[in-house]
Chains A and B, each alone.
Chain A
Amino acid sequence: MATTTPEPAKKTNRIGLEMQPYRGGKTTLCAGCGHNAISERIIDAFFEMGVDPRQVVKLSGIGCSSKSPAYFLGAAHGFNAVHGRMPSVGTGAILANRKLIAIGISGDGDTGAIGIGQFVHLMRRNLPIIYIIEDNGCYGLTKGQFSPTADLGSKAKTGIANDLPPIDTCALAIQLGASFVARSFSGDKKQLLSILKASLGHRGTCMIDVISPCTTFNDHEGSTKSYAYAKEHDEVLGEVSFVPFFEDISVEYDPGTTKAVELHDGSKLYLKKVAEDYDPTDKFTAMRLIHETSRRGEFATGILYVEPDKDDFVTLLDLVDEPLASLPLERTRPGREALEEVMESLR
């Protein structure tokens, strides 16, 4: 008689799901690509926060970054759109179903060049979406041309120096109206995970620029987006502590050195103050911080700006609570008397 040994209980999250539906297909990106590390953090964040992947939509444009949604959250629907136009597709999807949790993956070319127009208007609308720029300062899929986030003077693999100043996507996002703006580094697992988890508690546009080195085309001496340069120049803002709404933990903190922010879903964010007067809920100080660090040749990482109570686009449109996509015909087709009233007005 055969005996079966019970398998060890698999790890499940707070909604009872195992890790499997959060994983994606095998990556086809280069070994060591920063984007893969970001995919892993996304998997961890969604698993740990207990987000049902069947309620998630993954969106992307075109480029190396935009391939990555295939490598996480396999149980979620995904849409790989056209180059630079993911924001509009995401907007349509969220308007169709406001219950969906949208995560968009873009690149620095996909956002900063061809997609800058849609990026700008996405930020303006404060659409509820987590918008991640996997930022390596170059076009990887077409073999290393400069992108608009490449720093002035940064060198390409060919040795040519970039002669234009970069677009700072975080400064732009804050100025345009995004209500959660962060910058991180794919090599900083802990910080990126905290930021991602916090973004899941926020309602509105979460713009997260993640410096994510391209090992093949932009990881050499002279590049300002290499692993070595990023490690050297990453100016980490005070530690980001995140307490999700479902964890009953009270944190003692010193209001003099720590800023506490309550997010839309009740989760709490504790941000160490980098300076006495630093306030991540104040646009002006956030912008000053970004400009001051970049003037020093550094880049500040952490949650740069958060406005937890700002109305998102769905709220502004005053939509019904149910997804528009599944409203029954009796709620989307006015009655006979409505048509008759219109006809009468035209007689």
Chain B
Amino acid sequence: MSPSDLAVQEAAVPSATVRVVNDFSIQVATVNGSGSQTANLVLLRSIFQSGVPVSGKNMFPSNIAGLPTWYTIRANKDGYIGRKKETDFLVAMNAETAKEDVLSLEPGAAVLYDEPLKLNALRNDLVFYPVPFDKLVADVCKDAKLRRLVKNMIYDGVLSRLLNIELRQMEHALKKQMGKKAKAVELNMGALNAGFAFAEKNLTKGDPYWIEPMDKTSGMILIEGNAAAALGCMMAGVTVVAWYPITPSSSLPETLIGYMRKYRMDKETGKATFAIVQAEDEIASIGMVIGAGWAGARAMTSTAGPGISLMSEFTGLAYYAEVPGVIFDIQRVGPSTGLPTRTAQGDIITTGLLSHGDTRHIMLIPSSVEECYTMAMDAFDLAERFQTIVFVMSDLDLGMNTWMSNPFQYPDGPIDRGKVLDEATLKRLGEWGRYMDVDGDGIPYRTIPGDGMPSYFARGSGHNERGQYSERPDDYVNNLDRLGRKFETARKYVPKPEVVDEATEIGIIGYGTSHWAIDESRVQLERETGIKTAYLRLRAYPFTDDLTAFIDRYKRIYIVEQNRDAQMAGLMRLELSPERIDKLRSVLHYNGLPIDARSVSDAILIQEGRKDKASVSRTVVSGGLAAGKGE
């Protein structure tokens, strides 16, 4: 099935007489394992190098080779780089999905396809570009075994000509991609040129889409969220990493290994200033993180939903025994195995309240690759400050896709190692108990094994403020109340939301990757219907005072999430007053694809009574189980 939704077209059909410059989406449909990733990244990078804002999203199967995969590139002169719902330019390389891919296009879209597929017979309202790939590749690649891989570079050459992307940008991108492999560069350059030459000679431009150089990406970088997070962990001074392979998280520790081997070997001895262990499972991963955190290291693991479920018991231990650690959750579609290679924000409630008994956990929620980087550092500081597990809630869209960003800033400040008892503090306090709240903020002083300070026995069983085993009702209540106070203190330390106020009755709340669709939707809503919206982007749990203040300023609040059950709204309902809860509505998107602006706008317009539900795409706009009152 094509990932494109059968959306209802509302804008005028573009024609060749109209020039659509730097504002369209390309979808490349291939078979996974065919080496198309290189061609797609070269295409993405060449547009980026032309100064045009761009994003690339890989919609791939949970499979190594032989199943359909789609890569979507969106160029947008105004900088909107969330997913665009409609495909403007299709590159159809996969015989298996080609027909459905073509049938789902909007009238006026362009199709570049492998000639034998004869796709031009399917519709007469599209622009077709047949290319004899096998013939072209045979000419440039003598080795039959390599042809399958080189073939994809030909469509880059054709697109270079058709979309007006300078060939030298493609060449530059190819070299960047291939590094020093001169032979591979030469072979692929041959394919690029062959594609370009073929298009020049045989194809007549019939679509309206053009790339024209701009200056909107100069100095910027292209990076995946997982790599950005890995950089952040390295800069935070992480020393112990334990992980277990799982999509879409694996590339975070794997990238980290690369960075650490390059930049974190001791200058004098050449030995490692870090330990990275591929553990036997997620339970062992978090166990190692907790052991290391207890013994004073900055420790982290990275996982996805199934790993979060497995880490539940240990997370409760860390909460109760008060041990620091950082867990990255690169969210994917659940429940259970779910759709392992598709994106979601479906672990919010599970993670925020992970483990049995009364537990609350700090979650940081990055929207951008830059925040993956900065929040990695924030997470370690907060984990040590609050002596607890801190989660960084990324997702597949952010973690595995390529995003452009301003370059990351070097962290100048010191790191926060939290309240660790030393001689001076012990003298000042007079006495020390591991779980005594001496400062009134709920945060006790800890000692670290081997540091010579008084020992204590960390345990998940009931304990008093000296860490001794206790089943006394008053000890239990005192301890649990102090943990509650500690979580209240965290509200003042976590990253504050970003707020945009407007003279309007409508407020939107979003978080994580939903931001990109919301950002674009707000402009869309105003342009199409004159509706102005205010916006609050959450960046952490627990919520700060900004949330209630924002809800109080507007009449109707739309919480945009990529899950069915309005999970973040659920966490809000646990603590908001009934009057505030009454204002909450939901926009929910949970089909596994990154949320897009059109879906957000449509869902809001329907609930505002400005659009008929029947007129909107069948698949994505839904109130879910916990739909707001506007439904």
Contacts and interface: CB of A to CB of B under 8 A. Distances in A.
A97 B313 contact: no
Interface stretch (B90-98, B123-131, B290-298, B546-554): B290-298
B449 A100 contact: yes
Contacts of B286: 88
B287 A81 contact: yes
A117 B223 CA distance: 37
A69 B259 CA distance: 39
B264 A325 contact: no
A290 interface: no
A271 to B, nearest CB: 33
Given A81-B460, A334-B234, A74 B294 contact: no
Interface in A244-298: none
Given A88-B287, A319-B271, A96 B296 contact: yes
B296 A323 contact: yes
Contacts of A240: none
A315 to B, nearest CB: 11
B314 A70 contact: no
B299 A96 contact: yes
Given A77-B447, A77-B456, A320-B273, A336 B299 contact: no
A230 interface: no
A320 to B, nearest CB: 4
Interface in A48-94: 53-55, 57-59, 69-70, 74-82, 85, 87-94
A85 B314 contact: yes
Given A57-B449, A320-B272, A323-B450, A79 B294 contact: yes
Interface string B261-273: 0111010010111
Nearest to B291: A92
B611 interface: no
Contacts of B231: 339, 342
A94 B449 CA distance: 10
Given A320-B273, A324-B239, A117 B281 contact: yes
Nearest to B49: A347
Contacts of A336: 410
B280 interface: yes
Interface string B199-230: 00000000000000000000111110000000
B222 A346 contact: yes
Contacts of A10: none
A317 interface: yes
Chain A at the B interface: SS class: helix
B288 A99 contact: no
Interface string B452-471: 10011111110000000100
A85 B284 contact: yes
B237 interface: yes
A346 B239 contact: no
A80 B457 contact: yes
Interface string B2-43: 000000000000000000000000000000000000000000
Contacts of A334: 234-235, 263-264
A11 interface: no
Nearest to A124: B280
A333 B411 contact: yes
Interface string A197-210: 00000000000000
A329 B280 contact: no
A88 B317 CA distance: 13
Interface in B315-361: 317, 321
Question: Which of A90, A99, A325, A343 gathers most chain B CB within 10 Å?
Answer: A325
B237 A54 contact: no
Contacts of B291: 59, 79, 81, 88-96
A333 B457 contact: no
Given A324-B274, A327-B273, A347 B279 contact: no
Nearest to B325: A92
A89 B294 CA distance: 9
B240 interface: yes
Nearest to B284: A88
Question: Which of B269, B275, B293 gathers most chain A CB within 10 Å?
Answer: B275
A347 B298 CA distance: 30
Size category of the binding interface on chain A = 35 or more
A92 B450 contact: no
A18 B281 CA distance: 43
A91 B285 CA distance: 10
A93 B451 CA distance: 13
Question: Which of B262, B274, B281, B294 gathers most chain A CB within 10 Å?
Answer: B294
B292 A93 contact: yes
Contacts of A82: 287, 313-314, 317, 460
B415 interface: yes
B198 interface: no
B52 interface: no
Contacts of A74: 455
B463 to A, nearest CB: 10
Nearest to B231: A342
A162 interface: no
Question: Which of B288, B293, B298, B314 gathers most chain A CB within 10 Å?
Answer: B288
Nearest to B468: A25
B277 A118 contact: no
Interface string B74-107: 0000000000000000000000000000000000
B408 interface: yes
Contact of B221 (A58, A80, A347): A347
Contact of B295 (A76, A93, A320, A343): A93
A332 interface: yes
B141 interface: no
Contact of B283 (A55, A85, A332, A339): A85
Given A88-B291, A118-B280, A324 B240 contact: yes
A80 B297 contact: no
B408 A343 contact: yes
A346 B263 contact: no
B407 interface: yes
B242 interface: yes
A320 B281 contact: no
Contacts of A310: none
B234 A88 contact: no
A337 to B, nearest CB: 9
A95 B277 contact: yes
Given A78-B457, A79-B294, A92-B299, A318 B239 contact: no
A100 B452 contact: no
A94 B297 CA distance: 10
A338 B274 CA distance: 17
A105 to B, nearest CB: 12
Contact of A320 (B234, B240, B266, B289): B266
Interface string A300-326: 000000000000000001111101111
B221 A346 contact: yes
Contact of A329 (B237, B269, B289): B237
B197 interface: no
5 contacts: A85-B283, A89-B290, A95-B292, A317-B277, A324-B297
The 6 A-B residue pairs with the shortest CB-CB distance in the complex, in nearest-first order: A92-B291, A88-B287, A325-B296, A332-B237, A96-B297, A92-B292
Given A55-B450, A92-B291, 16 more contacts: A76-B449, A77-B447, A77-B449, A81-B460, A82-B287, A87-B287, A92-B292, A92-B297, A94-B295, A319-B272, A323-B296, A325-B295, A325-B297, A326-B296, A333-B235, A346-B223
